[in-house]
Structure 1
Amino acid sequence: MYDNIERELKLLINEKVYNELLHSYDFHNPITQTNTYFDTENQDVKKQRGAVRIRTIQDKKIFTLKIRKDEYTHYEFEKEISAENINEIEDPEILNWFNQYQIPKNLHPTASFTTLRNVYAFENGELCLDKTYYKNHTDYEIE
């Protein structure tokens, strides 16, 4: 089974700080990604402190299941998919993750937004500088 433990810290910042950081590091090739999150009507995934997402970058779709381990750590399971609809996923490994973490199959979109992500890679991790466009506002975040 594919396991990836993710440790991340996120901090909302304002546009001024975003622009200062953007020009303080050697960011290359920003990526535009659209994230769509899914849950049940009863928020069964959220109740497990988890998340189910499909991230689209150009024509590539990446399924992600995150399950919270502690305040800063998640178990993260990712796999590239071809399905357009989350309920059409038939990949045995992903279905096994659903079974293992009791994720129901009747998921529907709960949120969708687009992020311009700048990444600065260093020896032990990455610094991500995000500008996220929601329906009515824009957020700036460092991760």
Structure 2
Amino acid sequence: MKALVAVVSEDSEFLDRTTLVLEKTGYLMVPFLDSRKALQAFESIKFDILIAAVVLGSSNGFVFAEQAHKLCPDLQVLLASRLAQKAASLFSGSPAFLNYAFTAENFARQVNALLPVSDRTRDTLDDVRCYLQEHSLC
């Protein structure tokens, strides 16, 4: 089964693009416009991959990724920025960076490189969505 991916950004177009591309390749996607609600979801749901914007209104992608990683120690992180190449050069050994102006093929390849297909048993996407809706997290 493919990995469960949380995407956190206040840019709804970015959320739509990333979700569409990765759902087509079989990933289980959970988009969040609100980083606080996303962090609440991390308390109960063990995501495999986090894709977060570097700039978030209530936080920033680095702080958010650190908080999410404390809740999910095996979490793989991909930070998205309009200046991804510059950010990557400033932070060697840090999370991978995604440029907002990505192609679907390159984006899918970059996410695939983060985490191999997991054969762990996990909740179905419907179960996850139901939990998020019940707790008003999306």
Specify the TM-score bucket, using the shorter chain as the normaliser.
under 0.3
Larger radius of gyration: 1
TM-score after normalising by structure 2:
0.25
- Structure number with the higher strand fraction is 1
